Amino acid sequence: MTETSTVGIVGLGAMGLGMAASAVRAGFRTLGFDLSPERLAQARAEGVEPAGDLAQVFAADRVVFSLPTARDVAGVIDQVSGVLEGRSRVVVIDTSTSEPAVTRALAARLAAMGHGFLDAPVSGGPAGAAKGALTMMIGGSAADLADARPVIEALSARAIHVGDSGAGNVAKLVNNLLCAAHMLTTAEGLRLAEAAGIPAQSVLEVLNAASGRTMLSEVHFPAWVMNGAFNSGFTMALMQKDVRLARQLAEECGARLPLTEKAAQLWADAPYAGDDDFTRMGDFRAK
């Protein structure tokens, strides 16, 4: 694969559009597909060629998915199965936060047709996607990873091969479970500080210079919580879905995670709409 190869992007949301723009900057001819005409227009402005249908996207040398759920990922494969049966080998790079079992089934299905499938969920948010500076956690074969490496390097600053198919999804669910928990615990810590008469901002500075710091306290709280912006670009619905999937995975594996149970319940009962930003759960001022 060369930088003159074609990359297809399925899903041009907050993450997919940024990845498509990064692929264009890396020199790839980039085809994009989304159900939203508005997102397609935004992609065109970034140098992405809008595709009229999924079949056009799957004419690309490598295809990247950025979709909300495992059901969406499986649905796309169902729609293009005829195209895949009749074309030369392609590797699908699925950056969606999906379910390990679904990923493994899809990888086996594509392998039977002579194609590759990597679960490559990402961390870094829309800003990281737009800069080509995401962290990718990858599951799949070493051969498929090597095949897709030029595209992965265009989209990410760091790519970690976690293991076989599904391993990237497991790592992402663990990551987002901790992110969700850290949002709650940091908010509660700051609420305690204020209740004790100490400004939350002062205590946050202490946390970020001491052992209580996390990426949430260092990045999310200063950028989106303390100022009341609540616009990180990641919705409540997506985080609730990821926490639910992590809880489901724990049940499937027989792992006892009592704090996960409590965190999952708090996220499920959150008093916010699904399209609200997930950082609202960090609002330590809320009653």
| Structural tokens at position 74 | 């499986």
Query: Which backbone phi and psi does 118 adopt, to 5 degrees?
Result: -115, 130
Q: Which domains are delineated in the chain?
A: 6-164 (3.40.50.720), 170-282 (1.10.1040.10)
Query: Which backbone phi and psi does 50 adopt, to 5 degrees?
Result: -65, 135
Q: Which residues of the chain register pLDDT less than 50? A: 1-3
Look at residue 179 in the predicted model and tell me its pLDDT: 97
* Strand pairing report for 122-123 and 62-65: unpaired
172 is catalytic: yes
Query: Which backbone phi and psi does 243 adopt, to 5 degrees?
Result: -65, -40
The 8 Å CB, 24+ separation contacts for 242-249 are 242/97, 242/172, 242/173, 242/176, 242/177, 242/180, 243/176, 243/177, 243/180, 243/267, 243/268, 244/268, 245/97, 245/99, 245/173, 246/173, 246/174, 246/176, 246/177, 248/99, 249/100, 249/170, 249/173
CB atoms within 10 A of CB 138: 26
Residues in the chain, total: 287
The structure's pTM equals 0.92
Q: Give me the torsion for CA of 220, 226, 227, 233, rounded to 10°.
A: 20
CB atoms within 10 A of CB 111: 14
Q: Point out the catalytic residue in the list 172, 241, 262, 287.
A: 172
Residues paired with 265 in a beta bridge: none
Measured between alpha carbons, how far is residue 128 from residues 12, 27, 143 in Å?
A: 15, 18, 26
SS3 category, 119: strand
Ordered alpha helix ranges (H), the chain: 14-25, 37-45, 54-57, 70-79, 81-85, 100-112, 125-131, 142-155, 167-195, 200-207, 215, 236-253, 258-268
DSSP per-residue codes, 252-275: HHT---HHHHHHHHHHHT-SS-TT
Look at residue 118 in the predicted model and tell me its pLDDT: 98
Look at residue 86 in the predicted model and tell me its pLDDT: 81
Question: Which residues touch 40 (CB under 8 Å, ≥6 apart)?
Answer: 12, 32, 33, 34, 50
* Strand pairing report for 62-65 and 116-119: unpaired
| Structural tokens at position 136 | 């990718």
Distance, in Å, from the CA atom of 98 to the CA atom of 120, rounded to the nearest integer, reads 10
Look at residue 219 in the predicted model and tell me its pLDDT: 96
Look at residue 3 in the predicted model and tell me its pLDDT: 46
Distance, in Å, from the CA atom of 199 to the CA atom of 183, rounded to the nearest integer, reads 18
* Strand pairing report for 49-50 and 29-33: parallel
Residues paired with 10 in a beta bridge: 33, 65
Distance, in Å, from the CA atom of 167 to the CA atom of 117, rounded to the nearest integer, reads 12
